[in-house]
Amino acid sequence: MNREMSATYPPDVYIRNVYPPIQDLEPRVKYVVIIFVLCFIVGICGNSSVLTIIRGIVLVRKARYPRRHMDNAILYVAALCVVDFLMSLSLPPAILDSIIGFWMFGTAIC
């Protein structure tokens, strides 16, 4: 080691979070990333639009028939949309994991 370099860096300096460089993507990984991105876009847009439509239906029914209860089918579809929307939010970390080749978000998010 050079004396000039050892003078500028103290001996107790540690290098952390050094990630390997991003490699060229294999065609298989590109297809997976494209499918994940399409699923994310369709999942977020589709579920939010269905939830908006369900909200409109519920508000109209409450205005017309104030004493009626909500239909079980509408409640079931709304619950499915919420769960699918939340699952769609897990796709961006999976996309990054496919692109860079390692999980960079730590154990808690995993």
For residue 81, is it within any domain? yes
Asked whether 46 and 87 are in contact (CB, 8 A), the reply is no
**Number of domains the chain contains:** 1
DSSP string, 14-82: -----PPPPPPPPHHHHHHHHHHHHHHHHHHHHHHHHHHHHHHHHHHHHHH-TTPPPPHHHHHHHHHHH
CA 29 vs CA 14, 75, 91: distances in Å? 34, 38, 14
For residue 4, is it within any domain? no
| pLDDT tens by residue, the chain, 110 residues | 445 555 566 666 666 666 666 667 788 888 988 999 999 999 999 999 999 999 999 999 888 888 877 788 999 999 999 999 999 999 998 888 888 877 777 788 77
Record the pTM. Answer: 0.69
Residue ranges making up the domain that contains 74: 29-104
The DSSP call for residue 5 is: H
